[in-house]
Chains A and B, each alone.
Chain A
Amino acid sequence: MKEAVHIGRNPSAQPDLQKLIHEVALGDQDSFAAVYDAVAGSVLGVARAVLRDQAQSEEVAQEVLVEVWRTAPRYRPERGTVVNWILTLAHRRAVDRVRSVEAAAARDHRAALLDRTPEYDEVTEQVETRLEREQVRRCLRTLTEIQRQSVTLAYYRGLTYRQVAEALALPLGTVKTRLRDGLIRLRDCLGVSA
Chain B
Amino acid sequence: MRTEDLHSLTGAYALHALADDERAAFEHHLADCGSCERESLEFAAATARLGLAATESPGPVLKDRVLHRITTVRQVPPGGGTVERARRVVPRGRGLARWALAACVAAAVGLGGTAVWQYERAQDAGDRAARAQQRAEELAGVLAAPDAASRTVRLTGGASGTLVVSERRDRAVFLASGMAEPAQGRVYQLWFDDHGTMRPAGLMDPGRGSQAVLMEGDVDEAVGVGITVEPAGGSKQPTTTPIALMNMPV
Contacts and interface: CB of A to CB of B under 8 A. Distances in A.
Interface in B1-34: 8-12, 14-19
A187 B56 contact: no
A52 to B, nearest CB: 12
Interface in A103-132: 104-106, 118, 120, 122, 124-126, 129, 132
A192 interface: yes
B125 interface: yes
B106 A194 contact: no
B180 to A, nearest CB: 14
B12 A176 contact: yes
Given A72-B75, A74-B82, A29 B70 contact: yes
B207 A74 contact: no
Contacts of A92: 16, 84, 87
Interface size class of B (residues with CB under 8 A): 35 or more
A27 B70 CA distance: 10
Interface in B105-153: 105-106, 112-117, 123, 125, 129, 136
Contacts, number: 255
Contacts of B84: 88-89, 92
A13 to B, nearest CB: 16
Interface of A: 5-6, 25, 27, 29, 32-33, 36, 40-42, 44-46, 48-49, 55-56, 58-59, 61-62, 65-67, 69-76, 79-81, 83-84, 87-92, 95-96, 99-102, 104-106, 118, 120, 122, 124-126, 129, 132-133, 135-137, 151, 154-156, 158-162, 164, 173, 175-184, 186-187, 190, 192-194
